[in-house]
């Protein structure tokens, strides 16, 4: 028999049976949205979301925009749980004002994204894309790449994912420079990382990997001036957010031969279609290895983030709090 408990709507793909069972075992009536082929919930407009979410008390969301008008049209919705860690598409102030809870799946995809970032460093440095493209054309000439071993890696941002990258890099005997607004000296003593200002990091690093949130202060943090200050032949990795890098300036730096390459999982065009031609230029460049915002998309990562998002939903619907580190807005608090 269908549950008569609180309605929970899931608008993400790859929501596994274990996470469904966690919700249903707590009495939730779960509806998993049937998304169009090749589309995610970020492609749904407000009217479509309103129809899907009518009467819902909980929502497990991927990349849909959670706006004030949408929340106002969903008076029963108590908890919005992101199956991920970024929440720039959620109007958290509106959620607070309207008495809602917003949660993220903190810690669920750290390993997936960190693996991805280090993988991109190796793939770009060893010129995997260029080599395979040439082989497909029948040209088996060996291209000379560069090692990650004993290089200097600059990390911009040192949250959970950044620290996971540091752990993975320990086997490469690299020097790690970190730019972060909140240096932890005990962590530096334990790991050997060095805290530096962004200009010093850019000048000294062979690889620059971005792990910062997108805020008004970090938008276009890596612009033409920042790129020009980087070592000639350095490699830029962005698995964080489109908008941290001014992609048009990055494309110009690559075309000029100043950078050795870029590993990109995110693009400005994801949120600003005016940049689509720039994205196409980056995808066409032989020194770019690109993926479609897939850094967190592993089976294991989805299982962890699904479970955390489901746990946040049942906790709030039971009158409790999301797991530690997951709550980013709580409108229940006076």
Question: Catalytic site residues?
Answer: 241, 270, 293
The alpha carbon of residue 228 and the mean position of all alpha carbons in its chain are separated, in whole angstroms, by 26
CA distances from 79 to 8, 14, 93, 130 (A): 9, 20, 14, 46
Cα gap 163→169, rounded to integer Å = 10
Dig out the tokens for 289 from the structure: 């290895």
Distances (CA, A) of 307 to 90, 109, 111, 296, 312: 20, 11, 15, 15, 9
CA distances from 287 to 160, 236, 265, 282, 293 (A): 28, 11, 14, 9, 18
Instruction: Report which of 207, 201, 275, 263 is spatially closest to residue 238, judged by C-alpha positions.
Output: 263
Where does residue 227 rank: exposed (0-12), middle (13-18), buried (19+ CB within 10 A)? buried
Closest CA to 267 of 258, 254, 276: 276
The two tokens of residue 91 are 């109007």
Q: In a 3-state reduction of DSSP, which class is residue 61?
A: strand
How many C-beta atoms lie closer than 10 Å to residue 43's C-beta?
Answer: 12
Contact 76, 70 (CB under 8 A): no
Q: Quick check: helix, strand or coil at residue 127?
A: coil
CA count, 13 A, side-chain hemisphere, 239: 27
Q: Which two structure tokens, joined as six digits, stand for 201?
A: 């990091």
Distance CA 257, CA 167 (A): 31
**Interstrand relation of 152-156 and 175-179 (parallel, antiparallel or unpaired):** parallel
């Amino acid at each position: 028999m269908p549950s008569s408990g609180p309605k929970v709507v899931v608008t993400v793909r790859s929501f596994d049976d274990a996470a469904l069972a966690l919700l249903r075992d707590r009495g939730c009536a779960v509806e998993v949205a049937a998304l169009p082929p090749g589309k995610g919930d970020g492609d749904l407009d407000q009217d479509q979301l309103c129809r899907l979410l009518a009467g819902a008390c909980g929502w497990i969301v991927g990349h849909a925009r959670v706006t004030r008008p949408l929340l106002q049209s969903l008076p029963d919705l108590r908890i919005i749980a992101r199956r991920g860690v970024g929440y720039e598409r959620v109007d958290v102030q509106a959620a607070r004002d309207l008495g809602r809870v917003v949660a993220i799946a903190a810690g669920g995809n750290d390993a997936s994204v960190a693996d991805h970032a280090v993988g991109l460093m190796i793939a770009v440095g060893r010129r995997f894309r260029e080599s395979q493209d040439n082989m497909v054309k029948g040209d088996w000439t060996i291209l000379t790449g560069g090692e990650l071993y004993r290089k200097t890696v600059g990390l911009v941002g040192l949250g959970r994912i950044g620290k996971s990258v540091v752990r993975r890099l320990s086997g490469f005997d690299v020097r790690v420079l970190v730019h972060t607004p909140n240096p932890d000296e005990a962590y530096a003593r334990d790991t050997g990382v060095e805290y530096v200002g962004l200009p010093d990091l850019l000048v000294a690093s062979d690889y620059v990997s971005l792990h910062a949130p997108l805020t008004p202060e970090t938008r276009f943090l890596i612009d033409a001036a920042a790129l020009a200050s980087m070592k000639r032949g350095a490699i830029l990795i962005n698995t964080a957010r489109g908008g941290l890098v001014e992609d048009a300036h990055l494309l110009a730096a690559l075309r000029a031969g100043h950078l050795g390459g870029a590993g990109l999982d995110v693009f400005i065009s994801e949120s600003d279609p005016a940049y689509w031609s720039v994205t196409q230029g980056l995808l066409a460049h032989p020194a770019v290895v690109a993926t479609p915002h897939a850094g967190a998309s592993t089976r294991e990562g989805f299982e962890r983030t699904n479970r955390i998002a489901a746990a946040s939903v049942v906790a709030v619907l039971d009158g409790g709090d999301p797991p530690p580190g997951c709550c980013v807005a709580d409108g229940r608090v006076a």
